[in-house]
């Protein structure tokens, strides 16, 4: 049970920016309170096409040293060119509900996983473990998103999305994290592109 009425209810939004011709993806996280206060920015990186996203997100949250996050929100469960986040492991290790969003219809990614990573059963099983997405209506902005979640029921999921989505489909914690990730990625590309290729 999450307490959405708390004035300091906090969502940690995590989003990325990457180029699949490079080796590293920039992951950015933003701490966003329900009253619109932003009180934390955090960065890490994952391997493009790797399988380290779950571990990196867990490490990122732990490295903040904070215990006041109420929810982790991810801009996709399959990031950095098929680097799959095990949202159940994130939930278990951090004891925080996890809400994972995507925005487009899809017939699924199994075919791409088999084509790009032939014989990679671990990646395929991680994908199957995620389960089906659910279409959720955001009343506040009259839009729909696709959701996978753990630690939240459908009513709580809708309530969270209505609370932190101010415009369009993308909730503010994810919009801000996405902007930060893009800015850092562009900065590195311009000033130290070798970092992204190590």
CA distance 190 to 93: 36
pLDDT given for residue 97 in this prediction: 97
**CATH T-level assignment (fold) for domain 10-104+112-189:** archaeoglobus fulgidus dsm 4304 fold (3.30.2170)
The model's pTM: 0.95
pLDDT given for residue 1 in this prediction: 60
pLDDT given for residue 7 in this prediction: 75
Cα–Cα distances in angstroms (integers) from residue 71 to residues 105, 167, 172, 177, in the given order: 25, 20, 14, 15
pLDDT given for residue 8 in this prediction: 87
CA distance 177 to 4: 21
**Roughly what angle, to the nearest 10 degrees, separates helices 53-63 and 87-94?**
30
CA distance 50 to 79: 10
Query: 142 — alpha (psi -120 to 50), left (phi > 0) or beta?
Result: left
pLDDT < 70: residue spans in the chain? 1
């Amino acid at each position: 049970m999450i307490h959405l009425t708390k004035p300091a209810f906090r969502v940690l939004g995590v989003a990325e920016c990457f180029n699949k011709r490079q080796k590293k993806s920039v992951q950015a996280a933003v701490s966003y309170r329900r009253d619109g206060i932003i009180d934390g920015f955090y960065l890490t990186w994952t391997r493009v096409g790797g399988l380290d996203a779950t571990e990196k997100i867990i490490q990122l949250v732990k490295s903040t040293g904070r215990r006041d996050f109420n929810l982790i929100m991810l801009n996709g469960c399959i990031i950095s060119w098929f680097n799959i986040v095990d949202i159940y492991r994130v939930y278990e290790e951090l004891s925080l509900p996890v809400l994972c969003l995507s925005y487009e219809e899809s017939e699924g990614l199994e075919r791409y996983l088999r084509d790009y990573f032939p014989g990679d059963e671990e990646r395929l099983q991680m994908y199957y473990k995620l389960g089906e997405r659910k279409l959720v209506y955001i009343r506040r902005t009259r839009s729909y998103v696709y959701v996978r979640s753990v630690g939240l029921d459908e009513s709580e999921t809708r309530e969270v999305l209505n609370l932190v989505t101010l415009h369009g489909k993308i909730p503010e914690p994810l919009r801000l994290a996405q902007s930060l990730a893009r800015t850092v990625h562009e900065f590195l590309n311009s000033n130290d592109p070798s970092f992204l290729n190590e």
